[in-house]
């Protein structure tokens, strides 16, 4: 039986090799870096031949540029979905400063269990509810594209069958696939990065 699929894509890189890595969220609207543009092209090649009935991204440059590269010549109206979370006092700070402020243990809890560190502005239950509503609205017979950030994507895993077994991290330029089946949304794959 054919059913719809939701392709969840994390935007491409915003930093290149040698750049100072910073914690960027919803208040930091960076475009794709050179390597991020290359990742977006690789995603477009990987999705060549897939027709998307609907397409969503946040309003940030990095997610919109990634979505536009994937969609290419397809006729679409790119709708706005959840924006990245707000990292509070760590927004825009170098990663070394973030670890110094919150500690590696707090960052590990974020990466493995989606528990936000103190001072970050994120409501996990609101994000889970938003993902549930989004998946419920997706066509059961067509493909949907959603380009987002890792901060937001990690909460999708809590509302799909099979999500508990997947790592929370969705690397830049990677994607996952959710099947919209009669029994509900099912994780088919996660953190797949197209080869260069």
Q: Which residues are tagged catalytic?
A: 11, 84
Q: Which helix (H) or strand (E) holds 150?
A: helix 150-153
Order of strands across the sheet that contains 4-10: 78-80, 52-57, 143-148, 4-10, 175-181, 184-192
Query: Tokens in use for 140?
Result: 């059961």
CA-closest candidate to residue 34, choices 11, 9, 15, 10: 15
Cα 20 from Cα 94, distance rounded (Å): 7
CA-closest candidate to residue 26, choices 16, 44, 11: 11
Cα 180 from Cα 127, distance rounded (Å): 19
* Residue 78: strand, helix, or coil: strand
DSSP H helix total and E strand total for the chain: 6, 6
């Amino acid at each position: 039986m054919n059913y719809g699929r939701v392709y969840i894509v994390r935007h491409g890189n915003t930093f290149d090799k040698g750049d100072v890595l910073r914690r960027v969220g919803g208040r930091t609207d960076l475009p794709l870096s050179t390597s991020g543009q290359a990742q977006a092209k690789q995603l477009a090649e990987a999705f060549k031949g897939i027709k998307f009935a609907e397409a969503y991204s946040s309003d940030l440059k990095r997610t919109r540029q990634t979505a536009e590269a994937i969609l290419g010549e397809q006729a679409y109206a790119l709708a706005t979905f959840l924006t990245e979370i707000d990292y509070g006092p760590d927004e825009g700070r170098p990663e070394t400063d973030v670890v110094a402020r919150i500690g590696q243990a707090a960052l590990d809890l974020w990466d493995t269990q989606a528990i936000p560190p103190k001072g970050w502005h994120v409501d996990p239950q609101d994000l889970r509810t938003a993902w549930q509503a989004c998946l419920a609205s997706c066509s059961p017979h067509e493909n949907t594209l959603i380009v987002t950030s890792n901060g937001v994507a990690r909460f999708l895993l809590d509302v799909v069958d099979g999500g508990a077994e997947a790592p929370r991290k969705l690397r830049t330029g990677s994607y996952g696939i959710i099947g919209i089946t009669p029994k509900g949304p099912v994780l088919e794959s996660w953190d797949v990065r197209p080869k260069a």
